[in-house]
Every structure is written in C-alpha cells, then in structure tokens.
C-alpha cells in the first residue's frame, strides 16, 4: 500500500513538472528581438539653461533638485511650472534623459516632445556609445511626438508595424533607458486600447502593464513580430515609479505627425468646432437614447465647420464616417485624424430622431477660443422650485456670447440647482430639451418639469457649455 502511494505521488509530481514546463514553453522568448532591435534604440540627453531667479520671482516654491542625478531631475522637473527666461538671473545647466529610436537610415529619430521641449542642445547616444548632436525638426505637444535628425548614413533602423492591429492581451516589449540604464528591456501585455487621458484629446493611447520609468519616455514598444507599435510616453503613478499603468502613443498616430513635421514643421488636424461631453445614464434617458453612448454636443462654435454643417447643441453624435462613437473621447481622435477640407458624415440623434449631417472639416486653430460673460443687469425673476434667480441677457451679453437666447443666473438659493453646482454668472440656454429665450420661459419650463425622471439643463460657464442632469423628487 505504501509503495502504491509513493508511486502515485511520483506520477503526480511528474505531471505537475510537465505542466509547468509546457506553460513555460508557451511564454515568449524576447532574446532575438532585443538583440536585433537594440542597435536602433538611442539614448537622448538634453541641456537647457535654467534661470533660478525666474523661479523665485514667480512666487512658486521650487524644490532644490541640484543634488539629484540627471535622470531623477528630469522626472521631477516635468511636474514643475515652466519658468520664463531671465537673462539677469544666475543660470545653471539642467539635463534630462529620455529614449528614442531611428526610423530611417539617414538619421531621422522619433521620441517624445516632452523629452526635448525647451532644450538648448540635444545629444543622441547610439548603441556603440558614440554621441551626435541632433537637430529638432519639429515637435507636437498635443500628441507628445517629436522628430529629430542626426547626421549619418546606413544607420540601423526599426521596422514599423500597425498599432490598429494590436489586440488586448497581446504580448509587447519595451526598450529604453530608465534612469539612464541604456537598452533596458521590459515586457508585458496590452491592457487596453483607445485610452483617453486628461488633457490628451488627440491620442488614443495604448495601455500596457510593461514596466516604464523615467528615461523610458520616447522609446519603442514592440509586438512579438519585432515591429514598433507605439512610443512609450507616460505612466500613471502615485509613488513616482511604475505601478502597472503605462501608456504608449500608437505608431500610426506618431508617424502621421512625424510625416507632417518632416514636410512642413507643423501638424494640421481636423476640427469641427464643438464642445462635447460624455453621455451618462441620466443624459441618455433625458435625450431618449436606448443606452449611454455617443458624444453630446454641449456647444457649437459660431461660424465653425459644425455650425455651417447644421450641427446643434443637444445633438448626440453616434458615429463619424461610419465609425461608432462609444465614448465621447472617441470623437476628437477621429476628427483630428482628418485633414482640413475633407468631408465628414455624422449620424446624430436630435430630439429623439436620427439624422445624417454632411459637413466639411476645418483646421484646428492654434489657440482655443475663449468667451467671457458680462455682468448681469435687469429685474430678477425667481423660481424657487429649482432655487434659481435668473435675469434677461442684455443685447451686449448676447452679442459677446454669440447667443440668441438664454438667461443669466443672478442668484443661487437653496434647492436642486445648488446641489447640481450651478453658479452665479452661469448662462442657461436649454432646460428639459427646450430653448430658454427669457426668464419667463425659464419659469414656465421649470414649473412643468416632470417628477422622478432625468432632466437635462444646458449651462454656459466662462464660454464653455455642458449639460447637467437632475431629478426632481417629492
């Protein structure tokens, strides 16, 4: 009996070892890929004259980073406010470290814009330890892509893939210089695609769990075929180090930017001239949608492409040129990829009905338009059901805001509006999907609001419009 048990245990152990070996055999082997790709991955260092007096004059509390190594200083200095140049102040030489990769045998290099922005000198160190000064062809802050050029010929290059073919769960590899350690290789999987990050409207980021740290910025992200599918750009962190959330710029986006920078030194993007917001469950209900999806148009810029094409505030854009808009952040990615003058076909829902609109895409302006509201005047009309005191807009205010109708919030009393965050100075243009052209119409619509059902209100604040939802209860 004892022999039988011993034999059974031995068999079980062999089976477990076999399963472990098989599982290990299924893991990818990156050795050949790293060997082949590393010669085309470069280290990028920059030097910049930084005036210390400028920091003191601004009133900002700037920490002393002098004692830190260059790679750590670069990491912390990214979060500091940009300081103006001050020739009268004492200057020191700031250094930063990043990564990049060669995309052409004659010396064109891709990296992140934040690695080289503001640099007085850019030095590229190749795999053979030789150093060359690089020329900045152009940088694009909106996508965080920069194109450099070094003198050379027959340089090693990387093969570029298609980021749109990536699948969630696919293995990927990064090579870069974290904290200055050249040609460090880290691996992981694609965690998600099409991620939108705060203040990053034009990049559908690739999210991975590849270990990325300061110095990896600008380095390549590879698929298992050894093709570059992204540029490692940033991480989400609470500690200052890697936490399993890394984000890469899709190579398709990066190369479109690089080609434009190479041709003209700047990047042109499509523009519709709208302010949009997410469609949540309550907004979907208030607009008669089956489910939360699409991009809700909160504001249409006057004389912009969308206004000329018939798009209206309150429209919900469901797809653009046949591509569905699931999240509102999908729209800027798609519009930005179009060129000025191209046609755009939008499927929208307006007042519960589906419509198709045709319009010509414009060019994204260099600066965002800013509208400001003037102070209120005129007799106040109160509606205590919402807890708002509103007044008529003067002709001057309507002209300044380019509005034909709307009311100005003069006072916020206790009630639903205060809980929603409505403020004095806000302009209300729509309530329950009805245009508000006077304080009288506002009071009438507010009085007739349904109970226990999601209701939307369009509010214009400091030139930017958004829809908010609420429910009135007994």
The residues annotated with a catalytic role in the active site are 114, 144, 217
**DSSP H helical ranges for 268-415:** 281-286, 305-308, 330-336, 395-401
Specify the range with the lowest mean pLDDT, choosing from 60-74, 139-153, 310-324, 340-354. 60-74
Query: Is 309 contained in some domain?
Result: yes
- Most confident residue range from 79-88, 155-164, 406-415: 155-164
Q: Please give the residue range of the domain that contains residue 408.
A: 381-470
Considering 336, 363, 390, which residue would you say is the last residue of a domain?
363
C-beta separation of 417 from 446 below 8 A: no
CA triple 353-338-104, angle to 5 deg? 155
- Name the residue with tokens 């600008």: 218
From the CA atom positions of the chain, what is the Rg in Å? 28
- Clarify whether residues 453 and 430 are in a common domain: yes
- Number of domains the chain contains: 4
pLDDT average, residue stretch 77-94: 50
- Clarify whether residues 302 and 353 are in a common domain: yes
Query: Is 217 contained in some domain?
Result: yes
Overall size of the chain counted in residues: 474
- Residue 251, classified by CB atoms within 10 Å of its CB into exposed (0-12), middle (13-18) or buried (19+), is buried
CA atoms within 13 A on the CB side of 350: 12
Q: What is the pLDDT of residues 318-358, one digit of tens each?
A: 999 999 998 888 898 899 889 889 999 999 999 888 999 99
Q: Percent of the chain having pLDDT more than 90? A: 42
What is the C-alpha separation between 316 and 326, in angstroms, rounded?
Answer: 11
Q: If you write DSSP's letter for every residue of 93-147 in order, what string do you get?
A: EEEEEEEEEE-STT-EEEEEHHHHTT-SEEEEE-TTS-EEE-EEEEEETTTTEEE
Query: Is 374 contained in some domain?
Result: no
- Clarify whether residues 138 and 84 are in a common domain: yes
In sequence order, which residues have a C-beta less than 8 Å from that of residue 35 and are 6 or more positions away?
Answer: none
The residue among 127 and 424 whose pLDDT is bigger is 127
C-beta separation of 174 from 221 below 8 A: yes
The CA-based diameter of the chain, rounded to the nearest angstrom, is 100
Q: Which of 127, 379, 112, 302 is nearest to 221 (CA)?
A: 112
Residue 45 has pLDDT above 90, yes or no: yes
How confident is the model at residue 25, as a pLDDT?
56
How confident is the model at residue 38, as a pLDDT?
95
- Clarify whether residues 240 and 280 are in a common domain: no
Buried b (16+ CB within 10 A) or exposed e, 401-440: bebebbbbbbebeebbbeebebeebbbbbbbbbeebbbbe
Domain CATH for 248: 2.40.10.10
Residue 209 has pLDDT above 80, yes or no: yes
- Clarify whether residues 245 and 318 are in a common domain: no
How confident is the model at residue 91, as a pLDDT?
57
pLDDT average, residue stretch 94-113: 91
- Clarify whether residues 177 and 143 are in a common domain: no
What is the C-alpha separation between 77 and 81, in angstroms, rounded?
Answer: 8
The residue among 364 and 136 whose pLDDT is bigger is 136
Domain CATH for 279: 2.30.42.10
The first and second tokens of residue 208, run together, are 């991975």
Residue 84 has pLDDT above 60, yes or no: no
How confident is the model at residue 232, as a pLDDT?
96
Considering 117, 149, 181, which residue would you say is the last residue of a domain?
149
pLDDT average, residue stretch 37-57: 75
How confident is the model at residue 80, as a pLDDT?
45
- Clarify whether residues 51 and 141 are in a common domain: yes
Q: Percent of the chain having pLDDT more than 70? A: 79
Residue 89 has pLDDT above 80, yes or no: no
Q: What is the pLDDT of residues 420-457, one digit of tens each?
A: 888 888 899 999 888 888 888 888 888 888 877 888 89
**pLDDT band at residue 75 under the 50/70/90 scheme:** very low
- Clarify whether residues 50 and 142 are in a common domain: yes
Predicted TM-score (pTM) of the model is 0.66
- Clarify whether residues 343 and 425 are in a common domain: no
What is the C-alpha separation between 357 and 235, in angstroms, rounded?
Answer: 39
Considering 264, 285, 304, which residue would you say is the last residue of a domain?
264
Query: Is 322 contained in some domain?
Result: yes
Query: Is 242 contained in some domain?
Result: yes
């Amino acid at each position: 009996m004892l022999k039988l048990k011993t034999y059974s245990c031995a068999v079980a152990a062999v089976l477990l070892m076999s399963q472990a070996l098989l599982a290990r055999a299924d893991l990818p082997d990156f050795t050949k890929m790293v060997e082949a790709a590393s010669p085309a991955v470069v280290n990028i260092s920059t030097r910049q004259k930084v005036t210390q007096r400028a920091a003191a004059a601004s009133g900002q509390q700037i920490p002393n980073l002098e004692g830190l190594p260059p790679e750590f200083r670069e990491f912390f200095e990214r979060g500091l406010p940009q300081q103006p140049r001050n020739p009268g102040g004492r200057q020191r030489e700031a250094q930063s470290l990043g990564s990049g990769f060669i995309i052409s045998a004659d010396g064109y290099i891709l990296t992140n814009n934040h690695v080289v922005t503001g640099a007085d000198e850019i030095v590229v160190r190749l795999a053979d330890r030789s150093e060359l000064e690089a020329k900045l062809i152009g940088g694009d802050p909106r996508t965080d892509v920069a194109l450099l050029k070094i003198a050379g010929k027959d340089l090693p290059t990387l093969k570029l893939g298609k980021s749109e073919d990536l699948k969630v769960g696919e293995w990927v590899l990064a090579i870069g210089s974290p904290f200055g350690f050249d040609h460090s290789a880290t691996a992981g999987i694609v965690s998600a695609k099409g991620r939108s990050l705060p203040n990053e409207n034009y990049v559908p980021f690739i999210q991975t769990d590849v270990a990325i740290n300061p110095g990896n910025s600008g380095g390549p992200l590879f698929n298992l075929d050894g093709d570059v599918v992204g540029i490692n750009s940033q991480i989400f962190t609470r500690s200052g180090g890697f936490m399993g959330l890394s984000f890469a710029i899709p190579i398709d986006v990066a190369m479109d930017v690089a080609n434009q920078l190479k041709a003209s030194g700047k990047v042109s993007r499509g523009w519709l001239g709208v302010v949009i917001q997410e469609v949540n469950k309550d907004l979907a209900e208030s607009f008669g949608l089956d489910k939360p999806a699409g991009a809700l148009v909160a504001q249409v810029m006057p004389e912009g492409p969308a206004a000329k094409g018939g798009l209206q505030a309150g429209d919900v854009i469901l797809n653009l040129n046949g591509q569905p808009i699931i999240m509102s952040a999908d729209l800027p990615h798609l519009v930005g990829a179009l060129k000025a003058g191209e046609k755009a076909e939008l499927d929208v829902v307006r007042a519960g009905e589906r419509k198709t609109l045709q319009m010509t895409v414009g060019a994204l302006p260099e600066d965002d338009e800013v509208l400001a509201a003037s102070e209120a005047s005129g007799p106040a009309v109160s509606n205590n059901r919402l807890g708002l005191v509103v007044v008529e807009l003067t002709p001057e205010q309507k002209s300044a805001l380019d509005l034909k109708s709307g009311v100005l919030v003069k006072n916020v009393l206790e009630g639903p509006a205060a809980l929603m965050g409505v403020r004095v100075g806000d302009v209300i243009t729509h309530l329950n999907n009805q245009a508000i052209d006077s304080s009288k119409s506002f009071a009438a619509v507010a009085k007739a609001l349904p109970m226990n059902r999601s209701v939307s209100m369009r509010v214009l604040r400091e030139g930017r419009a958004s829809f908010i939802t609420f429910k009135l209860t007994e």
